[in-house]
Amino acid sequence: MKIAVASDHAGFTYKEIIKTTLVEQGYEVIDFGTHSTEPVDYPDFIRPAAQAVANGKCDYGIIFGGSGNGEAMVANKTKGIRCAIAWDTRSAKLSREHNNANMLALGERMLSIHEALEIVELWLNTKFAGGKHIPRIQKIEP
């Protein structure tokens, strides 16, 4: 299984720890950056990771920021991406079971590394419970 990872500077530390853990567990990880804690414009790293998931180059994506909100917003602008923010195991599990999320956003300022690792493990091991149905967002006309 291939997993895309990406972060801004505020999520860099967790990205590196979780990337190492995933590789140790046998996952293939493609790192889209950033590569330090120097301030960056996060869409430059998040968008390519989301595109890799959307086009099938990667099976799933895990993205990191201070809160995860901005990263999820960028990812969700990519057609075919269903990125969920998880701040606990319950929200992570439900995002896979009920929403078939293919990307996960985590906030380094919101979780301990222990919680983040637990969320990632649960998220990757939770199956979509809804069969072939994938939720669709209807375009709302002004």
Domain range annotation of the chain: 2-124
> What is the three-class DSSP state of 3?
strand
- Across the chain, what does the average pLDDT equal? 93
Residue 140 pLDDT > 90: no
pLDDT of residue 138: 54
Look up the pTM and report it: 0.90
Of 78, 49, 71, 47, the closest CA to residue 61 belongs to 49
**Contact between 130 and 98 (Cβ < 8 Å):** yes
Top-confidence residue, 140 or 23: 23
Catalytic residues: 71, 98
Average pLDDT over residues 12-28: 98
Q: Which fold has domain 2-124?
A: Ribose 5-phosphate Isomerase B; Chain: A, (3.40.1400)
